[in-house]
Amino acid sequence: MNSLLALAGTTSLLGARPGTTSFDQLEERIPGFGVLQNFFKSWLGVDLTTVLTAAALMGAASSGARAIQASGSKVYWWIIRFLTASISIAGRDRLNREVLNWLGAHVLTSKGTRVLTAHSETIQSDAWHYRRSSERNDYHHEKRVPVQYLPTFGTTWFFFDRSLFMVRRVLTSSSHYKNAWGNQTPDEYSGAPQGDEPLVVMCLGRSVGPIKKYLEACRVFADKQREAFVTVREAKGRGYGDESWDVTILRPLRPLDTVHFDEKTKSELIADIENYLDANTRKFYNSRGIPYRRGYLFHGPPGTGKSSLSLALAGRFGLELYLVQIPTVSDDKLLERLFAALPPRCMVLLEDIDAVGIKRRPGKSDDSDEDNDDSDSDPDDDRRTNSRCTLAGLLNVLDGVASQEGRIVLMTSNFAQELDKALVRPGRVDRIIYLGNISQRSSELMFLRFYSREGDGPRPADKVAQIPEAKLTQLALDFSSAIPEGIFTPAQLQGYLLNHREDPVGAAACIGKWVAEEKKIIDDAKEKARRAAERRRKKRRESKLRALARMANQSKDLDSDAELEALEQKIKREMAKKQTQEPA
């Protein structure tokens, strides 16, 4: 058949010999061609000579197109190799996402790109907040996940600063497939990117200077889009360099005024961090051989704003907040890699450090727990899990030889008295700050802030806006005077105000009733805890009496003080073991 097409093509292109036709030449070279011609013409009404000639012409055109494509590809790669500069960016690098988001905002939406990739987008991700407000519909996307459009595989062309740029998203897997004709499918049609593909940024010219300028513009764009947010990064425990910090959440900036605790302590804390971040402070530390690190411990009852203070401080000083969930970290080596991947200046939050499963060192309380019958604490309620990280591993990343300098470590704890002294010693924790229950002055400020007409937030309801400033101030005084000092947490008071968000008069009028109800709940809980503690103390006393009785009976058969002392130590160990096995 191929020879037939070739012959037909040759005949049609070169023409027949003088005095002969194309049919005569085909009949001469292909015996039986006349029979086929008559069959097709009589039964199908098709001129077989014309069909073969058209097929031959199409084959020749296809071969020519392939030759032109191959030549064009060689010329293209020759230009890329010798007439362009390029910079490659790893798939897991943060700069990779910043380049893609810049393209999504400046090129894909305005240049009419015809080939894109789309995927359901997490609203907390960077790209959601990179969009202009006119392209976002927060109310609409509260009901369903939005769609994000980014460059697909292949090359995206655009002009930046009067230079021609090309960004190529590299296909790393073997997902190329061949169609029925054996030809490879172009990259942009071979599949959807997974989000971790490398990028190659190319620029027409022999210098990488324009590319560096473009990459810096991508980073500046990202910073501007995040000005109203705090970047919170969380590790999910894979542990291979920067890719460990693979979860990014952008939280709205929280003013420090919204975190209510002692104003003097707050001012001192802000001044201390400002002084630490000053460039001269780093020089001072380095010149005197002092490790340039800073650590803070925020402790107090639940709901007093310890985590909120960490978020507010990160926003106040424009630092990224890295959240380390120690129970999810597999071992000490992974913890070391996480800390090694931290940027030079950031905040690291170790939340609820007392509950992460890192226990006190053995022997710390061997002599103190047995005889304390009046203690309200439950020996079994140590609020710890079986963490796979050790205290030694945590101490090593905080101030070991290989520990990172320049970062600020924030720890939060509900029970600071239970932390190992080695963890909170100076050098690891430089300041310990107590965030207690709310005071009357703080409750007054919370009321005023809640119903304030100032700031960039939405305007208050008409019912609130009609209240004069003087009356609002008096309502705040009436409200705070009904709050007992140091009884309620800021979270409790905020929950109450949320129920009266459009009624400051009602909030001030009903606060007395709310305080009485909440105090009754607190008193009932304390009484319940006291009774439970009394039952535990009674059980411990009974256990001690039984143990002493057994010891007295066995001591009659002992011949020396050494044997008696050994028996006492044995009983102490058995009692301690039994206490750890008692249900709470």
Query: With 60 as the cut, is the pLDDT of residue 226 above it?
Result: yes
The answer to the question of residue 30 being in a domain is: yes
For the chain, percent of residues with pLDDT exceeding 90: 27
Q: Quickly count: other Cβ atoms within 10 Å of residue 250's Cβ.
A: 18
Q: Quickly count: other Cβ atoms within 10 Å of residue 181's Cβ.
A: 6
Q: Cα separation of 293 and 285, whole Å?
A: 9
Taking residues 118-132, report their average pLDDT.
49
Sheet holding 163-169, edge to edge: 84-89, 199-204, 163-169, 154-160
Question: Is residue 428 located within the same domain as residue 445?
Answer: no
- Which tops the pLDDT comparison, 134 or 213? 213
Taking residues 405-410, report their average pLDDT.
91
The per-residue pLDDT for range 541-563, each reduced to its tens digit, is 777 766 766 666 655 555 556 66
Question: Is residue 12 located within the same domain as residue 140?
Answer: no
The answer to the question of residue 492 being in a domain is: yes
Q: Cα separation of 232 and 346, whole Å?
A: 10
Question: Is residue 193 located within the same domain as residue 249?
Answer: no
Taking residues 241-247, report their average pLDDT.
58
Q: Are 197 and 169 in contact (CB under 8 A)?
A: yes
Query: With 50 as the cut, is the pLDDT of residue 14 above it?
Result: no
Query: With 50 as the cut, is the pLDDT of residue 136 above it?
Result: no
The answer to the question of residue 548 being in a domain is: yes
Which of 413, 434, 455 is at the close of a domain?
434
Position 512 scores a pLDDT of 93
Which of 78, 99, 131 is at the close of a domain?
78
Position 41 scores a pLDDT of 73
What value does the mean pLDDT of the chain take? Answer: 76
Query: With 80 as the cut, is the pLDDT of residue 304 above it?
Result: yes
Residue 199 pairs with which residues in a beta bridge? 89, 169
Question: Is residue 95 located within the same domain as residue 144?
Answer: yes
- Residue 148 belongs to domain spanning: 90-173+185-227
Token match 């802000």: residue? 270
Q: Which residue, among 63, 126, 68, 69, has the nearest Cα to 99 in the 3D structure?
A: 126
Q: Which helix (H) or strand (E) holds 424?
A: none
Question: Is residue 257 located within the same domain as residue 334?
Answer: yes
Cα 361 off chain centre by: 33
Which of 399, 415, 434 is at the close of a domain?
434
The per-residue pLDDT for range 351-370, each reduced to its tens digit, is 888 765 554 444 444 444 44
The per-residue pLDDT for range 513-540, each reduced to its tens digit, is 999 999 999 899 989 999 999 998 888 8
Question: Is residue 96 located within the same domain as residue 208?
Answer: yes
| Model confidence, pTM | 0.66
Q: Which of 12-16, 335-339, 520-524, 530-534 has the weakest average pLDDT?
A: 12-16
Q: Are 436 and 261 in contact (CB under 8 A)?
A: yes
Taking residues 314-333, report their average pLDDT.
86
Taking residues 285-303, report their average pLDDT.
92
Q: Quickly count: other Cβ atoms within 10 Å of residue 216's Cβ.
A: 10
Q: Which helix (H) or strand (E) holds 116?
A: strand 116-120
Question: Is residue 277 located within the same domain as residue 400?
Answer: yes
Q: Are 157 and 186 in contact (CB under 8 A)?
A: no
Position 502 scores a pLDDT of 86
Position 140 scores a pLDDT of 45
Domains in the chain, number: 4
Question: Is residue 303 located within the same domain as residue 427?
Answer: yes
Q: Find the helix packing angle between 22-29 and 48-83, rounded to 10°.
A: 90
The answer to the question of residue 235 being in a domain is: no
Question: Is residue 328 located within the same domain as residue 397?
Answer: yes
As given in the structure block, the two tokens for residue 77 are: 């790669």
Question: Is residue 29 located within the same domain as residue 135?
Answer: no
Q: Are 148 and 127 in contact (CB under 8 A)?
A: yes
- Which tops the pLDDT comparison, 435 or 134? 435
Q: Which residue, among 358, 341, 345, has the nearest Cα to 402 in the 3D structure?
A: 341
Question: Is residue 94 located within the same domain as residue 189?
Answer: yes
Question: Is residue 379 located within the same domain as residue 475?
Answer: no
